A = this chain, B = another copy of it.
Amino acid sequence: MPEKIILHWLNFSRSHRILWLLEELNVDYELKLYQRTKEFRAPKELNKVHPLGKSPVIEIVAADGTSKVIAESGHITNYLIRKYDTEGRLVPSSDDDKEKAEWFLHYVEGTLQPLLVSLLVGETAKQMAPFGTKFLVNKVVKAMNDGFYLSELLKNLDYLESIAKAQHAKGSEYLVGDKLNGADILASFPIQQNVFSNPERAQSIFGRSDVYKKYPHLHQWAQFIAKEPKYVKANQIIEKLEGKSKL
């Protein structure tokens, strides 16, 4: 029996791009689906897979039945590409681009994603504010967002726009080099799914709707990524199993 890969997938989470990655790698895998609770948290069943109870988590079950669990999106991406991308399809062409892609795996999770998580925590606090306190809770959350989370996110989007612009000037539709790699796959959740394919969420994050005009190159990248055949296929797999609204 060859080894088996299991992906623990959670709706509206960073796990979706690992599904995309597994499709890109053309490997056999098993998909286990989890649904968020009413409070938009991961369900307790995920604690049985990994003590931190988060998704994505993958399990690699070896031929002898022993299994190991691997967490952290950037690390999972690295691990899967190194082990299963035997033809180097997702490996950038030059050493310089390899280094940039490696940086992206750390950057997306270490800098970009935490800002979006904190903005979401703030939104949740606003929604949960008891009657009569909403106005003040909104004000406290706005102060934290303006003072840190949102101002940092805008700085990051400016930076990413400059990267996408430079790539387009070179004739590339990708974030690094001239082919698809881990950088695009990892960035798809925070940028494409959270901001550019979700006008309602973009409006709630930025309090304005001109974000697509402000970041035309990032928008172009997001539209391009959304049409990548294996990403489309990952979406179809989930739609078939779950229905579109559960993505």
Q: Which of B79, B102, B143, B159 contacts A78, CB < 8 Å?
A: B102
Chain A interface bracket (under 10, 10 to 19, 20 to 34, 35 or more) = 35 or more
Inter-subunit contact B110/A72 (CB<8 Å):
yes
By the criterion CB–CB under 8 Å, are B125 and A140 in contact? yes
Residues B121 and A72 in contact, CB atoms below 8 Å apart: no
Q: Of the candidates B71, B107, B124, B125, which one forms a contact with A72 in the assembled complex, judged by CB atoms under 8 Å apart? A: B107
A125 to B144, Cβ gap below 8 A? Answer: yes
Cβ of A133: which chain B residues have Cβ within 8 Å of it?
136
A107 to B159, CA, bound (A): 24
Quote the shortest CB–CB distance from A188 to chain B (angstroms): 16
- How distant is A53 from chain B, measured CB to nearest CB, in Å? 7
Contacts of A137 in B (CB 8 A): 140
The CA of A118 and the CA of B128, in the complex, are separated in Å by: 19
B70 touches A103 (CB 8 A): yes
**Minimum CB–CB distance for A134 against chain B, Å:** 11
**Residues on B with beta carbons closer than 8 Å to the beta carbon of A162:** 51
Q: How far is the CA of A79 from the CA of B133 in the complex (A)?
A: 49
Bound form: Cα–Cα A75–B54 in Å: 23
Within 8 A of B (CB), among A78-113: 78-79, 99, 102-103, 105-107, 109-111, 113
Cβ-based interface call for A228 (8 A): no
* Residues of chain B with a CB closer than 8 A to A72's CB: 103, 106-107, 110-111
A122 within 8 A of B: yes
A-B pairs with lowest CB-CB distance, top 10: A114-B114, A109-B110, A72-B106, A75-B106, A140-B140, A74-B106, A51-B159, A75-B103, A121-B148, A125-B144
- A74-B110, A121-B144 are known contacts; what are 4 more A-B pairs with Cβ within 8 Å? A53-B155, A71-B107, A140-B140, A140-B141
